[in-house]
Chains A and B, each alone.
Chain A
């Protein structure tokens, strides 16, 4: 796919082009003005983001269109990202955060249209003294709306890591389907981890589920791997990799895929 760097033309672009991999590197621009993008009707759009965006970004996802958004958290991103979806619109957002820094990330997705669907996948490593907070909100405001949230996190050293997943289903949003899975592994003694799934449901005819777990590395897993000759370090590493590396499959940009996988290989 054609990669199109729109970093330097952000002021003039507000419709994202189809069939190209749109790319914004916020490390290269100072974005203090709020940004807003339209995904026009019946289009299929890719966008990769990296770097720090200090202002809010809004995506208006029009009827029958799809937005695939990849976010590589490689600086101190503290942005707010918002989505408004029309009928039959879909977003699929994936984030990978292996960088040691603080993080305060907010995502809000309004599923306004019938059959609109939002997905969020995250793999996150929190290390050193990082304090990372992810706050993800899906608002089901129409019938047949679907939201899927999958968060995988590892917290090491003295870091903290918290996921707040909020699924709200408004009255009248029949057949809405909201799912959340959050798994955080507390790798060292000194970490603080928290998974807070919140389902607020104002309608009966819905499917909603959440699974949240915060736990230590499974000792039986470590024993199994070590009994095959892996050192404790290697065993832990392969377990962490197993936790975080599936996110690579959600990334479109080959360079980013490569970057994530080499970061995982060298850095844990």
Chain B
């Protein structure tokens, strides 16, 4: 088992509702491709699943094997087997990559990992993602190139071996060889039973990792689910067909100038 269920999820950022009732299920061993135009809420969904405090869940449920994920702290979610490879991984100066890697591996074990075992795992994982081993002595992501950051995310994926991996545009900024490298790692982990929720704009990645399902998010809702053919269609035609064939409006809902809230804001400041 390792089933992730998202039920009627509503999420707001700074009082603006971004997700408006998302329903999705990922079963053990599945690989779900999540597509959608820019700014329609894909990263928001992944961040909310992982528990990013910027994103407030106002309604709905997230269940992992029936357990309430929303009541878990961020680190608990990680320990329960969730992993998020971020679209924009943080650069954390002063924190040495390998100290961080060891601390995070230890967080997932009962007894601290032996130094020798740690180095062996890091060495092997670095090889798999084709990242020079000495990157582990640098500060975490600081000054890493775009592609190096993404490889470092996958390095962590290998080392932490979660049951469900959420990958947010893991292929952006990667050169062609790197996409192949990363995809083969993903494919390999998928074969071994890891479940995936993968956000990408490019069929190239999906061709290499063989998603079992696909879904399209528009304006904070899943509007269409399908299989691999849906990805190919979007790749060829874009999202226009949604409107033509399904009557789904893909224009982003722009919030109009809201004089009421401006007024309220002014009052708030006045009473401070």
Could you tell me which A residues sit within 8 Å of B by CB distance? 218-221, 223-232, 234, 238-239, 241-243, 245-246
Contacts and interface: CB of A to CB of B under 8 A. Distances in A.
Nearest to B108: A229
Contacts of A242: 92-96, 139
A221 B54 CA distance: 12
A246 B142 CA distance: 15
B94 A243 contact: yes
B99 interface: yes
Contacts of B74: 223, 226-227
Q: Which of B53, B89, B95, B104 has the most CB of A within 10 A?
A: B95
19 contacts: A219-B53, A223-B50, A223-B53, A224-B90, A224-B92, A225-B100, A226-B75, A227-B74, A227-B83, A227-B86, A228-B156, A229-B75, A229-B107, A230-B75, A230-B103, A231-B73, A232-B75, A242-B93, A242-B139
Contacts of A218: 90
A231 B53 contact: no
Contact of A224 (B86, B93, B99, B107): B86
A222 to B, nearest CB: 8
A111 B165 CA distance: 57
A67 B59 CA distance: 64
Contacts of B54: 219
Contacts of B79: 229
A70 B100 CA distance: 28
B100 A227 contact: no
Contact of B78 (A227, A232, A246): A227
A221 B78 contact: no
The 6 closest A-B pairs by CB, nearest first: A242-B94, A229-B107, A228-B104, A226-B74, A242-B95, A229-B78
A239 B103 contact: no
Most chain A CB atoms below 10 A, which of B73, B86, B93: B93
Contact of B107 (A221, A223, A234, A243): A234
Contacts of A221: 90, 92
A227 B50 contact: yes
Contacts of A223: 50-53, 74, 90
- Main DSSP-derived SS at the B contact region: mixed
A225 B86 CA distance: 12
Contacts of A243: 94
A219 B95 CA distance: 15
Contact of A225 (B50, B73, B83, B92): B92
B107 A230 contact: yes
A230 B104 contact: yes
Given A229-B78, A238-B99, 6 more contacts: A225-B100, A227-B75, A229-B79, A230-B75, A239-B92, A246-B94
Interface in B66-81: 73-75, 77-79
A218 B79 CA distance: 22
A221 B92 CA distance: 7
B139 to A, nearest CB: 7
B84 interface: yes
A234 B106 CA distance: 11
Most buried by A among B54, B73, B74, B160: B74
Interface string B93-135: 1111001100110011000000000000000000000000000
A234 B103 contact: yes
Contacts of A241: 94-95, 99
Given A223-B53, A238-B95, A242-B95, A228 B90 contact: no
B78 A226 contact: yes
B269 to A, nearest CB: 21
Contacts of A230: 75, 103-104, 107
Nearest to B84: A227
Given A227-B50, A230-B75, A238-B99, A245 B108 contact: no
A232 B53 CA distance: 13
A8 B108 CA distance: 52
A239 B78 contact: no
Contacts of A238: 95, 99-100, 103
Contact of A232 (B73, B77, B96): B73
A226 B51 CA distance: 10
Interface string B229-272: 00000000000000000000000000000000000000000000
A229 B139 contact: no
Nearest to A233: B75
Nearest to B105: A229
A212 to B, nearest CB: 16
Contacts of B139: 242
Contacts of B52: 223
